[in-house]
Structure 1
Amino acid sequence: MRGIAGARAQQGRQILPAIRTYAQTAGRAIAQARRMHIGVPEPVDHPAARRQPGLILFGAEQGFAGAYPERVLDVAANDFADAHVFLVGARSVALARERGLALAWQTSLPSRVAELSGLAIALLDALSEYLARAGAVPVTMVYPFWTPGQGLKIIHRKLLPLDAETVPATGSGPVPLSNLPAAKLLEKLVQEYVFAQLCEAAAEAFAAENEARMATMAAAKTHIDGKLAALQLEERLTRQSEITAEVVELAAGARFRIHRR
C-alpha cells in the first residue's frame, strides 16, 4: 500500500508542471483578448442567490491518511453555512455528513491521474450550472497542498470572479485577430483558465492524499517497530526471570537434599 501511494503521489506531481503551463498559456491569451477593449457581458442579477457564494472543496477519497481528511473540513467548516458547497472525496463526504454539514454537490476523487481531467470537467459543468442560476457570485477553492519536509497545509484560492491583476491587459503589437466576437472569445478563454485551475487543485489534492497516506503508514510502521521492540525486551526479561526462578528452585532443592544426608 505504501508503494502504491508513493507511485500515485509521484504521478500527481509529474503532471503539475504541464497543468501550470496550460494555465499560464490561457492567462496570456486572456490578457491579449482583453486588449480588444470588450468585456464579458454583464451577468444577470439574482439578489436572492447572491448570499450563497460557491465553495469548491477538495477532500480525501479514502481513509488511513491520518488527520488529513478532518483537517481539510476543519479549515473550511466556517464557510459551509453560507456557501453552495461542491465537495470532492468520498471520505470527506462521509465526514461532512457525520458533522451535519450541508452539501450541494459531491463526487469522488479519482484513483488514477488520467481521470483528474474528467473530474475537472464535471466540476466545471456543475459550477457553470450553478452560476447560471445564481449570477456572478464569488467562488473559492480550498484544497490541500503537501510540501516535502513540512507536511500539509490548506490553500484558499479565489477562482471567480477572475482577478484582473492576474491577467492584466498587457502586450504590444497588433491586436490579436479572432473569428469569434471578442466577448465570446474572452468567455471561452476564462472557461479554459478556470478548467486549468481546477485541474491543478485536483492534482494537488490527489498527490497530497497519497503523501499523507505514506506519512501515516510510515508513522504506523515506526510505532509497530517500537512496540515490537518493547515486547521483545519484555519477553527477554520475563524469560530471564523464569530462568532465574528455575535456577533458584534447583539450588534450593540441591541444598535440601544435602542437608537431609
Structure 2
Amino acid sequence: MTSGAEIAARIQGLEQLGDLVQALRSMAGSRVHQAQNALSGTEGFRKTVEGAILSLRAPVHVEGAGASLLVITSETGFVGGFNNRIIEKVKSVRRPEERLVIVGRRGQILSAEQGLGVDGSFQMTSRADGVTTLARRVLADVGQVAEARIIFAAHQQGGTFKVTERQILPLSLTQQSTDNDAPLHHLPLRTLMAELSQEYLFAEVAQALMESLVSENNARLMTMDAAARNIDETLENLRREERTARQEQITTDMLDVIVGVEAQRQ
C-alpha cells in the first residue's frame, strides 16, 4: 500500500495543479467577457460599412487574383477538441487552388502533422484589444486575392461554438438600401467603393477573429471546469486513502506497543 508520505506528496502536487487550473479558468473567463463586449462593436461597424456600400447603389469591385482560405485557430492549448474540429473542416472543404492561411499556432501544428500545406501563417491574439491590429495584417494578405473564404469557430449561445465557413470575396451584398436618394460624396465613386470594400473586408475578418476568440476561451473554460472536477475527485480519493493509511499506521503503532508490553511482562 502507498505510504502516508507518498500520498501527502501527491495531494500537495494536485492542490498546486488545482490552483493553476483555477488561475487559467479565471483568465479565460475574463477574456470571454472582454471579447463578448467587443463583439457588438465589430458587428455594428460591419453593418455600418455595409449600409454605406448599399446606399451608393454601385457595383462592388475588388482588385485581385487567386483564391485564399483563411482559417482561425487558437494560439495556445487547453481547449479540448477546438482546433481538431476546425482542421477537420478545412480538410473537407479546401480546394486545390486555394492558398491556405492559418491564424493560430495550434492550428499550424495540426496542419503540419496532417500533411496540409500551409502557405501563410499569423499568430493569433489572446486579447480582444489585439483583434484590430491582427485583422489589418491578415487583410493585407487576404485582401489581394479575387476569392477568399474564412473558416472559424462562430460563437453560439450557452458557451458552445459552430465551425463556420463564410465567403468574404467576392463581396456579395444583396440587401437593398431603404434610402430613396444616394448620399452625397466628394470622392470618385470607384475610389469610394474600393475604400469601403476594403473596410468591409476588414470588418468581416475582425468579426470572425472576435467570434473565434470568444469561442476559444469558452472552450478553455469548459476544459478547465472538467479538469477542476477531476482534480477534486482525485483529491477526495487521496484524502480518504490518507485517512485509511493514518488509521492503519496508528493501529500498527498500538500493536507494537502492546507486543512490547507483553514481552516485558514475560
TM-score, normalising length: structure 1: 0.80
Supply the AA of the counterpart residue of 2:40. Answer: P
Structure-2 residue corresponding to 1:109: 124
Residues 1:181 and 2:191 aligned together? no
Counterpart CA distance in 2 for 1:255 and 1:41 is 102
Counterpart CA distance in 2 for 1:150 and 1:115 is 22
Supply the AA of the counterpart residue of 1:174. Answer: D
Q: How many residues align?
A: 242
Structure-1 residue corresponding to 2:215: 208
Listed one character per residue, the Cα deviations across residues 212-234 of structure 1 (whole Å, up to 9, x for unaligned) are 22221221111111001111122
Listed one character per residue, the Cα deviations across residues 166-218 of structure 1 (whole Å, up to 9, x for unaligned) are xx232233222222222332222121111111111111122222222222122
Residues 1:152 and 2:161 aligned together? yes
Q: 2:59 aligns with which of 17, 36, 39?
A: 39
Aligned residue runs from structure 1 range 132-151, under 5 A: 136-137=146-147, 139-147=148-156, 149-151=158-160
Structure-2 residue corresponding to 1:161: 170
Supply the AA of the counterpart residue of 2:114. Answer: R
Counterpart CA distance in 1 for 2:40 and 2:82 is 24
Residues 1:22 and 2:45 aligned together? yes
Aligned residue runs from structure 1 range 242-261, under 5 A: 242-243=249-250
SS of the residue aligned with 1:2? helix
Listed one character per residue, the Cα deviations across residues 213-257 of structure 1 (whole Å, up to 9, x for unaligned) are 222122111111100111112222334445556667777888999
1:120 deviation in Å? 0.7
Structure-1 residue corresponding to 2:8: none
**1:87–1:41: structure 2 CA closer, same or farther, 3 Å change rule?**
closer
Counterpart CA distance in 2 for 1:213 and 1:225 is 18
SS of the residue aligned with 1:117? helix
The answer on whether the counterparts of 1:33 and 1:185 sit within 8 Å (CA) in structure 2 is no
**1:201–1:187: structure 2 CA closer, same or farther, 3 Å change rule?**
same
1:150 deviation in Å? 4.8
Q: 2:79 aligns with which of 65, 87, 97?
A: 65
Structure-2 residue corresponding to 1:85: 100
Q: Gapped runs of 5+ residues in structure 1?
A: none
SS of the residue aligned with 1:86? strand
1:43 deviation in Å? 6.1
The answer on whether the counterparts of 2:161 and 2:215 sit within 8 Å (CA) in structure 1 is yes
The answer on whether the counterparts of 2:159 and 2:215 sit within 8 Å (CA) in structure 1 is no
The answer on whether the counterparts of 1:90 and 1:109 sit within 8 Å (CA) in structure 2 is yes
Listed one character per residue, the Cα deviations across residues 46-76 of structure 1 (whole Å, up to 9, x for unaligned) are 6xx5xxx321111001112222222221222
1:103 deviation in Å? 1.1
Counterpart CA distance in 2 for 1:39 and 1:80 is 28
SS of the residue aligned with 1:62? coil
Identity %, equivalent residues? 29
The answer on whether the counterparts of 1:23 and 1:193 sit within 8 Å (CA) in structure 2 is yes
1:148 deviation in Å? 5.1
Q: 2:136 aligns with which of 93, 97, 121?
A: 121
SS of the residue aligned with 2:166? strand
**1:105–1:42: structure 2 CA closer, same or farther, 3 Å change rule?**
closer
Supply the AA of the counterpart residue of 2:123. Answer: S
The answer on whether the counterparts of 1:6 and 1:211 sit within 8 Å (CA) in structure 2 is yes
TM-score, normalising length: structure 2: 0.79
Counterpart CA distance in 2 for 1:43 and 1:113 is 30
